[in-house]
Chain A
Amino acid sequence: MRAWIRLILPANYMDRQRRAGFLFVLPAVLFFSSVFLVPLIQSVIGSFYRTRPGGASEFVGVRLYEKVFTDSTFWTSVVNTVSLLSMSVPTTVILAMAAALGLNRIQSLKWRNVWAAMYFLPFSASLVAAALIWQWIYDPVYGFLNYLLSAVGIPPQKWLQSLTQVRPSIAVVNVWVRLGFDTMIFLAALQSIPGEYWEAAAIDGAGAWQRLRHITLPLLNPQIIMVCILELIFNFKIFDQVYSTTQGGPASASQTVIMLLYDTAFKYFRMGDASVMAVFVFLTLLVVTLLQWRIFRKPVEY
């Protein structure tokens, strides 16, 4: 309480400094509180209530948790989401790393920027627009991809209309969209590593693979962890691409948790059930992120 009073009525120079610092962070705190924290708390509270929009709410304890967690549709959507991200995340990270290493070797700044911009371009496209373009590319009859395959004698595939191909097909879209962003992060990190490390290792007789394994990758550890976490969050929350291409089909093969959450809230009008799913997504991502952070993060010093 005293600290708050001194924040409002500073008694000395240090108090004034603290107040200035507080005022600087205040807009950000207010923004994040109103946009993230308040909805999160509302979701947690909402998950214990059966709500009839426009009508009364009824406290039901953990009944909605029991209901959602015993529903096979929910677990199918979880499995679909995990399957999708297990294809997208490693592929994106590995390809982004490869692209960044390649770009880092280009000596000409102009050409490096041109290539980097090309990689980054898909990231700036709207997800819905990108998904619709890919929907056309994947079209079994008129699609560009089947046209290319037919040119080399491969029979047409069903892509988004196949139970087995739909998730890998969506994963490719995710990789395409996210590759540029991850590449930029890795490229920036690579450029901040002093070149002397590689030179010294080369003088000591280390090959390219050894330099990558023992110098580059350890020094990129913070960025790799960060990119993995970002990709995990992005892919776990996947919605736009699925919604605008398959709407969870065919036969629920691409139904993800967020798709189901959306349908539950806005198509079936079950706000409580949807809140349970939102809490599940939040806790899952929180736990996985913390685990990743604790297990894989190593301190890096140049």
Chain B
Amino acid sequence: MRRHSMVRVAILALIAMTLILPGPAAAQQKKLVYWTHWEQNPDFNKWFETKGKEFAKKTGFEVEVVTIPYQGYEAKYLSAFMGKSGAPDFYNGMTHQWCGQYDFCDKMPADLAKTWDENLPKYMMEMGRWQGARYGYPIEHGNFQMMYINVDLFKKAGLNPDRPPKTYDEWLPAMKKLTVLDAKGEASQVGFAIRHKGHPVGITDKFLPFAHAWGARMLSPNLDKATGFANGPEMVAALEFFGNLVLKEKVSSLTLGNPEDAFGQKRAGVIYRESWFYGWVKKNAPEVNFRIYALPCGRACPGAGQLFPWANLVYKDSPNKQMTWEFIRFISTAKDDLEQHQLQGILPVWTANQETQYVKSRPDYQAVKDMLAQPVPPAYFHPKSNELATAFGEAVVGVLYGKGQPKALLDDAAGKMDRVLKD
């Protein structure tokens, strides 16, 4: 008798729970989930939620933004996409990885793709595309390195901040003048804040402007070969120059920690960083008096190009993918582009916004224009770009730490990269 009562109670409890708890489908039905690892741009991300409320009035679908920490974001994305549960409807990622190496992206509807193709600056056209098809849209303009100079340190070193070095022949003497050594011969202030820490992919990214200025490229034009390019004579010369900044000329130091911190602490006269860095300095080191210029030229003048082409993509197995495309269509206007980027203090993407008052008043306006006027440097949007950049970056950092000569380390890296490409 008692056993029967227990069974009845258990069945009733189960029925009650089923009625009380909403099904997962019902909970997600009215929400589009967006994942981003752009933790440094919270206002930009939040804008999607604000706009989602407007969108909800028409469709009933709001937008929820989930910020994933940048360090290790790939693991989180991958687990969700492979598990097919808890995955976002749309997300910030690189097209050649998530749509190329993987198959996690939905193709953009043709009319929307046309809108984006007609409104992007020329150098950004391939961002969000894979093998000719558009999967997503680029979210950031000015994601290429430019030269930030500390005006006060320039003046102190007897340099004219209005006439920054235009070539590497002028640049190196200027870096020497900016460098201050202590009694023990260690740099207490450096000319150039060099990236030497962190993952080799980031180190590759920061070295490539030098490589491109020397006329080198990391991979062959059709991205199928590294030997002869990653270890070509131009690349060897560029890496020798880069390594000597630390080893011989001592205008850069490995003891100063992050280059951004060194610049913010007025311990470095020059840093190469992207457009967003202007907002970072304003926020974290407001007392630093800086200006932004186009990168100096070597054999070539490196123009606007990037290793990390961030784009917003739609998950192909999302149950809400049609509605997600509708939301993207809803926000694909010049007005929204300007509003969202201005909110965060970063550069808008649409060509129509490049001459607005907001953009013109920015300190990087002229530098961006100058960079855009220069030839577009090689792009490496290969599905295995992370692995290739790691092998290459290990050679770069190896030179900085005196592990070997540039030629030998680059030969080794090129061999590894070819194996990765063939595999």
Contact = CB atoms under 8 A, between A and B. Distances in A.
A249 B397 contact: yes
B253 to A, nearest CB: 9
Interface residues of A, number: 31
Majority secondary structure of chain A interface residues (helix, strand, loop or mixed)? loop
B103 A267 contact: no
A252 B403 CA distance: 11
B196 A250 contact: yes
B400 A140 contact: no
Interface stretch (A49-57, A103-111, A181-189): A49-57
Contact of A249 (B71, B186, B198, B386): B198
A67 B420 CA distance: 11
B103 A55 contact: yes
B197 to A, nearest CB: 6
A54 B82 contact: yes
Interface stretch (B5-13, B213-221, B254-262): B254-262
User: For B72, B81, B255, B398, which residue has the most chain A Cβ atoms within 10 angstroms?
Assistant: B255
B390 interface: yes
A282 to B, nearest CB: 20
Given A53-B78, A54-B104, A158-B254, A263 B390 contact: yes
Nearest to A244: B71
Contact of A268 (B387, B397, B400): B387
A53 B97 CA distance: 11
B257 A141 contact: yes
Contact of B75 (A52, A156, A249, A266): A266
A19 to B, nearest CB: 17
Nearest to B317: A54
Given A249-B198, A250-B197, A252-B394, A54 B254 contact: no
A273 B148 CA distance: 41
Closest 6 A/B residue pairs (Cβ): A266-B75, A268-B387, A140-B255, A54-B103, A251-B401, A54-B102
19 contacts: A53-B78, A140-B255, A155-B184, A158-B254, A158-B255, A161-B196, A163-B401, A243-B71, A246-B197, A249-B198, A249-B199, A249-B397, A252-B394, A267-B201, A267-B387, A268-B386, A268-B390, A269-B101, A269-B102
Interface of A: 52-55, 67, 73, 139-141, 155-156, 158, 161, 163, 243, 246-253, 262-263, 265-270
Interface of B: 71-72, 74-75, 78, 81-82, 97, 101-104, 184, 186, 196-201, 254-257, 384, 386-387, 390, 394, 397-398, 400-401, 403, 416, 423
Given A249-B200, A250-B196, A252-B394, 9 more contacts: A53-B104, A141-B257, A158-B255, A252-B200, A262-B75, A266-B74, A267-B390, A269-B74, A270-B387
